Amino acid sequence: MRPFRSHTLVAALVAACVLAPAPAATQSLVAPESVGLSSDRLQRLTRAFDTYVDEGRLPGAVALVMRRGEIAYLESFGFRDREAADPMETDDLFRIASQTKAIVSTAVLMLQEEGALDINAPVATVLPEFAETTVAVRRDDGGYDVVPANRAITFRDLLTHTAGVDYGTGLASDRWEAAGIQGWYFADRDEPVRETVRRMAALPFQSQPGARFVYGYSTDILGAVVEAASGLPLDAFLRTRVFEPLGMVDTHFFVPPEKAQRLAVVYAGSRGDPLERAPEGGGWQGGQGLYLEGPRASFSGGAGLVSTARDYARFLQAILNGGELEGRRILSPKSVELMVANHVGDLMGPGQGFGLGFQVVRDLGARGRLGSMGEFSWGGAYHSTYWGDFTEDLVVVYFTQVLPAPGLDDHVTLRNLVYQAIVDGGARRGR
């Protein structure tokens, strides 16, 4: 394989590809009927989520429905801060956690398009410490042995969560704990993500590369890949190459001080009990987090961003459009096609697959939920979710801040009430 370009040359190439920032996202709402949705039927969604708030099952939320590139529904419910009786607004900021993964996966595909990496190549071509990795294997006595990986981890393994890397809580959790690397939360780390990832490479992983779908640090490792391959810090790459071109003016790794009042409060749920305000500070198992006050040193590619419903919808619409939005292209249509293809066979269970950063629908009947073939989706630890539907030319973003959120069925309600509001199904059929 030909050697990759030096960081200096790649950084120069990246700089040459930077698009001028898009204007601030000021897209107004359209009448639902103009894009094949029923206003009356969308009111069912409003009533349902008002009820969730009134019953104390949700503190507050924002829901956005975009069809044919137009926002037809954007509503806020409940409170940004329930104790202060501060109502939720549609432009409030949310911790989007694992919804960061799709954006960083997009950045990796952008670098492939620029010749900086090949997703089927070993990760070690960019991060040398991954040349020889290990795997923890259970023994009959309940302990574990550490064995060499049977092949090199590739970028595609990381993109599809089949690299065998968990969140440090598996068989070798004692070693991950001793290394100070467990859980998805990075905002309290006072070291660059590249250094954290460097230490990960020496720890035993949960399974052999390609053998299983294992959810964990794969996209955080990809964040370090973006930094090493581009020569830019992850926050700078995403800001200049994704957020500014797409007009995502409110998406950040850490909340700017002037926007602090717009950050929604986190609440903790337990089955059958009232929601409680999460404690100040706190790490990956709960709390408000250090997105306002903290080291601001670690850019977690797997779970670090805050955003608004409008911003995230603009990113999803760019994917739905084949990699561009309002004349600003971040990916080619063929890269998008590859991202939303199923790369993992049957590893995700009935009807589901996984692409390069997204879960995808490969058999609608087997999945048994309203939607469309080829739909792409995922969510975040604070109980947020999203999806994009090519058949219906539809984007849905739903943000709330509840961690944990046991027993909540609002995601199912959202899906059912969005799709029942479509009155001219198949927006792209026959095109």
* Residue 226 tokens, joined: 């973006």
Residue 235 one-letter amino acid: D
What CA–CA distance (Å, rounded) separates 162 from 133? 14
The DSSP annotation for 149-165 comes to -SSPPBHHHHHTT-S--
- 10 Å Cβ neighbour count for 162? 25
The DSSP symbol for 280 reads S
**Bridge partners of residue 384, in order along the sequence:** 380
Q: What is the DSSP letter of 18?
A: P
- For residue 422, give the amino acid letter: I
326-361 b/e with 16+ CB inside 10 Å = b? bebebbeeebbebbbbbbbeebbeebbbbbbbbbbb
Q: Which two tokens stand for residue 304?
A: 């670090």
The answer to whether 98 is a known catalytic residue is: yes
Instruction: Report in angstroms the alpha-carbon separations of 386 from 11, 98, 232, 247, 415.
Output: 32, 11, 29, 19, 10
- CA neighbor of 253 nearest in space, from 212, 289, 210: 289
Q: Which phi and psi (to 5°) does residue 182 adopt? A: -150, 145
Closest CA to 10 of 237, 252, 338, 335: 237
Phi, psi of 129 (to 5 degrees): -65, -15
d(CA 425, CA 392): 7
- Cα–Cα distance, 309 to 91 (Å, whole number): 7
Helices (H), 187-307: 193-200, 218-230, 234-238, 244-246
3-class secondary structure, 22: coil
Three-state secondary structure call for residue 277: strand
How distant, in Å, are the alpha carbons of 233, 243, 249 from that of 238?
Answer: 9, 6, 12
CA distance 113 to 119: 10
**From 6, 28, 76, 98, active-site residue:** 98
Q: Hey, which residues are catalytic here?
A: 98
